[in-house]
Amino acid sequence: MAFFVARRLFYLLPVLIAVSLLTFSIASLLPGDLAYTILGDQATPENVAALRADMGLDQPIWWRYLGWLGNVLQGDFGRSFRTGQTVLQAVAERLPVSIELMLLAQLGALGIGVPLAIICAARSGGPFDRFMTGSAFGMLSVPTFLSAILLIYLFAVELRWLPATGYIPFAEDPLANLRFLVLPALTLALAEWPTIMRVLRSDMIATLQEDYIALAKAKGLTPARILFVHALKPSSLTLVTITGINIGRLIGGAVIVETIFALPGIGRLLIGAILTRDLIILQGVVLLVGAGFVIMNFLVDMLYAVLDPRIRHGHA
Amino acid sequence: MTGNTLLSVEDVIVDLPTPRGNLRAVDRVDLTVGTGRTLGIVGESGCGKTMLSRAVLQLLPKKAKLSGRVMFDGQDLLQLPPEKLRKLRGRSLAVVFQDPMTSLNPVLTIGTQLIETLQEHLELDDATAKKRSVELLAAVGIPAPEQRLAQYPHQLSGGMRQRVAIAIALSCEPKLLIADEPTTALDVTIQAQILDLLAREQRRRHMAMIIITHDLGVVAGRTDEVAVMYAGRVVERAPTPALFKRMRMPYTEALLAALPKLDAAPHTPLPAISGRPPDPTRPLQGCSFSPRCRYAVARCQSEKPPLEAAETSAHQFACFHPIETHADANA
Amino acid sequence: MATLELEVVEEAVTQPARKGRRFGMLFWAAIGWMTFVFAVAIFATVLPLPSPTDMDMLERRAPFSAEHWLGTDGLGRDELSRLIYGARISLVVGLCAPVIGLTIGGALGMLAGYFRGRFESMVVGSMDVLLAFPPLVLALAVTAYLGQSIFNLTCILGVLGIPAFMRVARAATLTLARREFVIAAQALGATHTRILLRELLPNVILPLFAFFLLGVAITIVVEGSLSFLGLGVPPPISSWGSMIGEGRESLDVAPRLAFLPAAAMFLTVLSFNLVGDTLRALTDPRQGAL
């Protein structure tokens, strides 16, 4: 186990460095000078030169990268030149919203996808299985923003059950907070459950053909025990593998959903930074999201070891 | 037959639909096993012996069609509701599969897999079930049984895993144990140990046992009766001593000839059975073995020989030209 | 042995059902819809349509009529015409971006799978870095710096597709490179170029093409998402995504302005997914081996 963790950690470091390099170079190498962007209409050659010197933009690029990386490692991601807020402040303020949204969405997706997958695998080839497999395939073709609009139209415009936009912090009023999050989380869950269901279903069908399932039946175990104890755990490995990719889609989906439902999360911070050309915030958020994503993938890999004792004992 | 009949398989047919047509895996098989007795089922790969055992266990693939009667302990397993069947499996009807690498769940500990069977059928509390598991592991010859309970299958060798599988099968004192090629996947050196273990536990617990194998040598000293299967049918059936004294079916003889002999000179080539088993989706009109049989005559190709008793009612075979008659004719 | 016999039988039983109706009704319906969308998009300029940018302030959000078959939008522009011109944008981006991914990713994947060694580790490693960002976030960030244009959008989405195509090509090459016909060609002294182009490419191109169709579906969705957020194609050009974004403002009075482009997009994405998935199932090397 220790070896497994060490090997993964060893791999994590270069990827994180590469992520920081990529983030930095997107911001620095692409056309468009930061100084011009900041000064906008007031850009005169003298002004620009002064600001460039002030921001260190006249230094060689690798020097700027090292300086930036050094600051980042000390927790200084820069400060918005529009609001004066530091990147860390801005992110810390909005992160809980995004995390709550993604957690609820993932729970919802698992809550829909896992039971459906188990039922479908247990009755594979039957009418229910065929119907659900078809529906899942269809749902994969519905973009997040489409289901958002459909849900808003249905529950906010027509039925008027739930608010279409807005947010109240959990600490202020937990119930109202959940009311505002139901539709966004459901939107994201609708995009995620088909993948979960399809992957788990096909793995589960394969597992149910295994000798040890035949033996479990021959041992006279109940069907529920066979499905949940004997078949579910060995079938969930691929599900865990794709969770990494899913988190990436979830983050992308959260950006869209936060914008549509006006939730003050990281996604809206990002979009806001793009629209106001607040490049420091943008750079910081992209770096933090990228790094967070890499670290989450690392944690997912660790989960693998928990599920499969063969990896835990170094038989990978 | 001495004693009561525990299991009787009557006129069992297993059909599997395939893209090339219907595959008759088991073709009108009748067999009986008495309480505490041992039956060996012998045949090549694909002869239907595994399908027959799965039919008895009711573990056939979903699409398979099964007909006939499987009477076990006075009940027809085919008519039994699923819940009753479940209570029977693992309790009085147990099985050991061929490959211990695949028949134990890789993500559950040995202890879990043993204890769940005990608790499912015997209503034991955790401590008692654990104690019983340790005793069982010790009984099948596993050293340091307490530590094994917390281990996973991949931490054990193949032979040890098969011992665990046997311990699981024995856990509820079954009346019948079906061992489906229990030693095929194991090292040659381990095979005899596992077979002896099975034989010892069988005698000690007075349970009936069916050993399924492709190796006549496995059934030789360890069974009361042997049934030889070919292309889904039982082609010869006899008490074990009688069979080895006088085998009548040319196929049985060919199987025996294909065994390596200890007294043969080194590098003696083994006489393989020439040809291949018939395509099970294209049944032959006559005896299925006739294309490969060196004694075959015209009648063998046009007519199926029935399974009939010969000199004693216990010894049955399906052949128009059993070996001795043939030899007599030549003499 | 005995278990193997069982598996073979099981496989044989499940296989034919799939093969038997491998091109079902749905498949042909999807092909039909794709052909239709392509046709109207290509011939948009010669079709008797009102201009998609002509505003008619007197006829804002007009219902279906003989003059405007699908009504007009919030600025009085003809909805049908906008839908068709929007299809052009969605299809151009949706097709061109995966071509970039297919070419670069496919080439890298084949080279990595064929030559292995340090080159392979380098390719796989750099792809991992590209995959380290949630794709939509990376696309947003890069568009923000590069500026919004159809060309930029296509390039970014194309680059984002490279890792996936690389993986498909590499996996296919890895399995194929061990097959007899490649080893035979090597033994006959064929050059690497010849083996890659003549022996491997024809076999790798099929799974890549199936994946290309799925890539088109994904790209249309991502392009739609960006345009929906107002960060994709720049106005006044409209794609389906930006039309849905505009229609969202009037969900309460004229929901069709959002739902018409939504339906067009859903059907197109579904069609590409269906056809791509059917072809993928046919060319999947794992299933072909069985």
Of B103, B120, B155, the CB nearest to A212: B103
Whether A31 contacts chain C with CB within 8 A: yes
- Is the pLDDT at B147 greater than 70? The verdict is yes
Residue C3: list chain A partners with CB under 8 A: 211
Round the CA-based radius of gyration of chain C to a whole number and report it: 23
Comparing C276 with C57, which gets the higher pLDDT?
Answer: C276
CB-CB contact of B283 with B304 (8 Å): no
Instruction: Report d(CA A196, CA A206) in Å as an integer.
Output: 16
pLDDT for res C7: 35
C73 pLDDT more than 90: no
pLDDT of residue B41: 92
Greater confidence (B306 vs B227) lies with B227
Measured between alpha carbons, how far apart are the two ends of chain B, in Å?
A: 35
Reading the block at residue A23, the tokens are: 């983030």
pLDDT band at residue B326 under the 50/70/90 scheme: very low
Whether C107 contacts C173, CB under 8 Å: no
Closest CA to B103 of A214, A160, A129, A194: A214
**pLDDT tens column, B227-264:** 988 888 888 888 888 888 877 788 888 887 777 666 66
Q: Which residues make Cβ contacts (< 8 Å) with residue B132, sequence separation at least 6? A: B118, B124, B171
Q: What's the whole-number mean pLDDT along residues C132-160? A: 83
Amino acid identity, residue A180?
F
Instruction: Report pLDDT for A245.
Output: 72
Asked if residue C79 lies in contact with residue C140, where contact means CB atoms within 8 angstroms, the answer is no
> Which residues lie below 8 Å from residue B303, measured CB to CB, with a gap of 6+?
B285, B286, B287, B320
Q: Regarding predicted confidence, which is higher, C64 or A33?
A: C64
In contact, C268 and C220? CB cutoff 8 Å: yes
- Spell out the CATH class of C78-283: mainly alpha
Q: For residues A193 and A110, give the distance between their C-alpha atoms in angstroms, rounded to a whole number.
A: 7
Dist. CA A257–CA A264, nearest whole Å: 11
Side-chain-facing half-sphere of A169: CA atoms under 13 Å: 6
- Token pair belonging to C268: 């197109």
pLDDT higher than threshold 70 for residue B42: yes
Domain spans in chain B, listed from the N-terminal domain onward: 5-92+174-259+274-330, 103-171
Cβ contact C9–B16 (<8 Å)? yes
Chain C residue with the nearest C-alpha to that of B99: C3
- Please report the DSSP string for B257-310 in residue order: HTS--TTSPTTPPP-PPPS----TTS--SS-TTGGG-TT--HHHHHSPPP-EE-
* C284–A contact, CB cutoff 8 A: no
Which residues in chain A land under pLDDT 50? 316
Q: What is the pLDDT of residue C144?
A: 77
- Degrees (nearest 5) of the Cα angle B135, B138, B139? 85
Start-to-end CA distance of chain A, whole Å, equals: 11
Dihedral sign for Cα A243, A244, A248, A251, please: positive
At A39 the pLDDT is 67
- pTM of the predicted structure, to 2 decimals: 0.80
CA gap B285, C137 in Å, rounded: 70
Q: For the sheet with B233-239, list strands across it.
A: B93-96, B176-180, B208-213, B38-42, B225-230, B233-239, B316-317, B308-309
Residues C74, C76, C77, C79, Cα dihedral to 10°: 60
* Cβ within 8 Å, pair A145-C228: yes
Answer whether B22 touches A (CB < 8 Å).
no
Nearest to C96 by CA among C243, C207, C220: C220
Highest mean pLDDT among A124-128, B174-178, B274-278: B174-178
Domain residues of chain C, as ranges? 78-283
Region C162-166 average pLDDT: 90
Average pLDDT (B263-282) is 71
Please tell me the number of Cα atoms within 13 Å of A153 on its side-chain side. Answer: 21
In contact, B175 and B208? CB cutoff 8 Å: yes
Q: CB pairs below 8 Å between B and C: how many?
A: 43
pLDDT at residue B118, rounded to an integer: 92
Place of tokens 């690392």: A298
DSSP C234: P
Beta-carbon separation of A315 and B104 below 8 A = no
Asked if pLDDT for residue C14 goes beyond 70, the answer is no
Looking at residue B4, what is its pLDDT? 83
Q: How far is CA A174 from the centre of its chain?
A: 23
Cis peptide before C236 (omega within 30 of 0): yes
Tell me the C-alpha distance between C109 and A307, whole Å. Answer: 31
- Distance (Å, rounded) from C-alpha A75 to C-alpha A289? 15
Residues 6+ apart with CB under 8 A from C206: C279, C283
Contact yes or no for B105/B114 (Cβ under 8 A): no
Alpha-helical segments (H) within chain A: 2-29, 34-39, 45-55, 61-73, 87-122, 127-140, 144-151, 174-208, 211-218, 223-225, 232-235, 237-261, 266-275, 279-307, 309-312
Q: How far apart are CA C86 and CA B184, in angstroms?
A: 66
Q: Does B203 touch chain A (CB under 8 A)?
A: no
The C-alpha of A35 sits at a distance from chain B's nearest C-alpha, in angstroms, of 58
For the stretch B320-323, contacts whose Cβ atoms lie closer than 8 Å and that sit 24 or more positions apart, written own/partner, are B320/B287, B321/B250, B321/B295, B321/B296, B321/B297, B322/B248, B322/B249, B322/B250, B323/B247, B323/B248, B323/B249, B323/B250, B323/B253, B323/B295
Collect all residues of chain A within an 8 Å Cβ-Cβ radius of residue B102: 210-212
d(CA A169, CA A26): 34
C94 pLDDT more than 50: yes
For domain B5-92+174-259+274-330, give the CATH number.
Answer: 3.40.50.300
pLDDT in tens, C165-194: 998 888 888 888 777 787 888 788 778 888
Helix residue ranges, H only, B124-178: 126-139, 145-148, 158-170
- Letter string b/e over residues C65-89, b meaning 16 or more CB atoms within 10 A of that residue's CB: eeebebbbbeebbbbbbbbbbbbbb
Q: Which residues pair with B212 in a beta bridge?
A: B41, B180
**Could you tell me if B167 and B140 are in contact, meaning their C-beta atoms sit under 8 angstroms apart?**
yes
Which residues, including other chains, have CB under 8 Å from residue C45's CB and lie 6 or more apart? none
- Which residues on A lie below 8 Å from C250 (Cβ)? none
Residue C6 in this model has a pLDDT that exceeds 60: no
- Per-residue confidence band for C2, with pLDDT thresholds at 50, 70 and 90: very low
Q: At what angle do helices A87-122 and A266-275 cross, to 10 degrees?
A: 130
User: What is the distance between the alpha carbons of residues A172 and A178, in angstroms, rounded to a whole number?
Assistant: 11
Q: Which amino acid is at B80?
A: L
Report the C-alpha gap between A51 and C127 in whole angstroms: 36
Domain A87-308 belongs in CATH node 3.60.10.10 = no
8 Å CB contact between A11 and C129? no
- The pLDDT of residue A155 is 86
Which stretches does DSSP call E strand in chain B?
A: 5-18, 21-34, 38-42, 65-72, 75-76, 93-96, 176-180, 208-213, 225-230, 233-239, 308-309, 316-317
Mean pLDDT of C203-232: 87
Residue written as token pair 């598991």: B133
User: Considering only CB atoms, which chain A residues are within 8 Å of B88?
Assistant: 220
Closest-CA residue to B50 (of B16, B9, B97, B4): B97
Spatial contact of B320 and B295, defined as CB atoms under 8 Å apart: no
CB atoms within 10 A of CB C193: 8
Chain C contacts of B104, Cβ < 8 Å?
none
- Locate all alpha helices (DSSP H) within C43-101, ordered by sequence: 79-100
Question: What is the spatial distance between Cα A142 and Cα A133, in angstroms, rounded to a whole number?
Answer: 15
A210 vs B154: CB contact, 8 Å cut-off?
no
Top pLDDT among A57 and C262 is at C262
**Residue C142 to residue A256, Cβ atoms within 8 A:** no
Q: Is B168 on the interface with A (CB under 8 A)?
A: yes
Domain spans of chain A?
2-73, 87-308
Which region among A82-86, B282-286, C7-11 has the lowest average model confidence (pLDDT)?
A: C7-11
User: Residue B101 pLDDT > 50, yes or no?
Assistant: yes
> Which residue out of B104, B105, B136, B171 would a mutagenesis test of the A interface target, given it has the greatest number of A Cβ atoms within 10 Å?
B105
B9, pLDDT greater than 70: yes
Q: How confident is the model at residue C1 (pLDDT cuts 50, 70, 90)?
A: very low
Q: Which residue has the tokens 């069992």?
A: B12
pLDDT band at C289 (very low <50, low <70, confident <90, very high): very low
pLDDT of the residue at B168: 92
Closest alpha carbon to A83 in A220, A278, A264: A278
The pLDDT value recorded for residue A252 is 85
Question: Hunting for tokens 């088993």 — which residue is that?
Answer: B277
Higher pLDDT, C82 or A8: C82
Testing the interface with C: which of B42, B50, B181, B212 to mutate, by most C Cβ within 10 A?
A: B50
Report the pLDDT averaged over residues C104-122.
Answer: 87
